[in-house]
Amino acid sequence: MPVVWDDDCRLHDPGAEIWIGVRTPAVETAARTDAILEALRGAGAPVVDAVPHDDAALLAVHDAALLDYLASAWAEWDGAGLPADPGQDRVVPYVFAHAGLTSSPAVPTAVWARPGYYCYDTMTLIGPGTWEAARAAADSALTAVDLVLDDAPAAYACCRPPGHHVCRACYGGSCYLNNAAIAAWELASRLGEPVAILDLDAHHGNGTQEIFWEREDVLVGSVHVDPGAGWFPHFAGFAGETGGGANRNRPLAPGSGDDAWLSAVSELAAWAAGAAALVVPLGVDAAGGDPESPLQVTSAGFREAGRILGGLALPTVVVQEGGYDLERIGPLVLETLLGLESALR
Q: Is 199 in the site for Zn ion (CB under 5 A)?
A: no
Q: Using CB atoms within 10 Å of the CB of residue 292, give its burial: 0 to 12 exposed, 13 to 18 middle, 19+ buried.
A: buried
> Are 26 and 322 in contact, with CB atoms under 8 Å apart?
no
Give, in degrees to the nearest 5, the angle at Cα 32 between 221 and 158: 55
Q: CB of 329: closest distance to ligand SP5 in angstroms?
A: 11
Nearer to Zn ion, 201 or 335 (CB): 201
Neighbours of 259 (CB within 10 A): 10
**241: partner contacted, choices ligand SP5, Zn ion, none (Cβ within 5-8 A by kind):** none
Q: Which is nearer to ligand SP5, 203 or 215 (CB)?
A: 203
What contacts 140, CB < 8 A, 6 or more positions away?
Answer: 4, 5, 6, 9, 50, 157, 158, 159, 179
> Which residues are CB-contacts of 224 (< 8 A; sequence separation ≥ 6)?
199, 201, 202, 203, 204, 205, 231, 237, 249, 250, 251, 252, 286
Q: Is 283 an interacting residue with respect to Zn ion (CB under 5 A)?
A: yes
Q: Which residue is nearest to ligand SP5 (CB)?
A: 322
Annotated active-site residue 98? The verdict is no
Catalytic residue among 12, 53, 62, 165: 165
Contact window for Zn ion (CB under 5 A) among 83-91, 117-125, 204-212, 275-283: 275-283
Question: Which residue in the set 121, 139, 201, 258 belongs to the binding site for Zn ion (CB under 5 A)?
Answer: 201
Q: Which residues bind ligand SP5 (CB under 6 A)?
A: 17, 19, 24, 123, 162, 165, 173-175, 201, 203, 232, 283, 285, 292, 321-322
Minimum CB–partner distance for residue 197 and ligand SP5 (Å): 15
Q: Cα-atom radius of gyration of the chain, to the nearest Å?
A: 19
Contact between 322 and Zn ion per CB under 5 A: yes
> What's the farthest any 2 CA atoms get from each other in the chain?
58
Binding partner selected for residue 19 from ligand SP5, Zn ion, none, CB under the kind-specific 5 to 8 Å limit? ligand SP5
Least separation in angstroms between residue 314's CB and ligand SP5 is: 24
Is residue 203 part of the contact set for Zn ion (CB under 5 A)? yes
Q: Which region among 84-92, 99-107, 193-201, 240-248 touches Zn ion (by CB under 5 A)?
A: 193-201
Least Cβ distance, residue 238 to ligand SP5 (angstroms): 17
CB atoms within 10 A of CB 109: 7
Given ligand SP5, Zn ion, none, residue 158, with its beta carbon under 5 to 8 Å by kind, binds none
Work out what residue 258 binds among ligand SP5, Zn ion, none; the CB cut-off runs from 5 to 8 Å by kind.
none
Residue 199 interacting partner from ligand SP5, Zn ion, none (CB closer than 5 to 8 Å by kind): none
Strands (E) in 190-338, as ranges, are 195-199, 218-225, 247-252, 277-282, 316-320
CA distance 97 to 181: 24
User: Which of the listed partners (ligand SP5, Zn ion, none) does 205 bind, with a CB threshold of 5 to 8 Å by partner kind?
Assistant: none
Supply the minimum distance, in Å, between the C-beta of residue 96 and ligand SP5. Answer: 16
Contacts of 312 (CB under 8 A, 6+ apart): 269, 272, 273, 275, 278
Query: Taking a C-beta distance cutoff of 8 angstroms, is the pair 310, 343 a contact?
Result: yes
Torsions phi, psi for 282 (to 5 deg):
-105, 100
Catalytic residues: 165
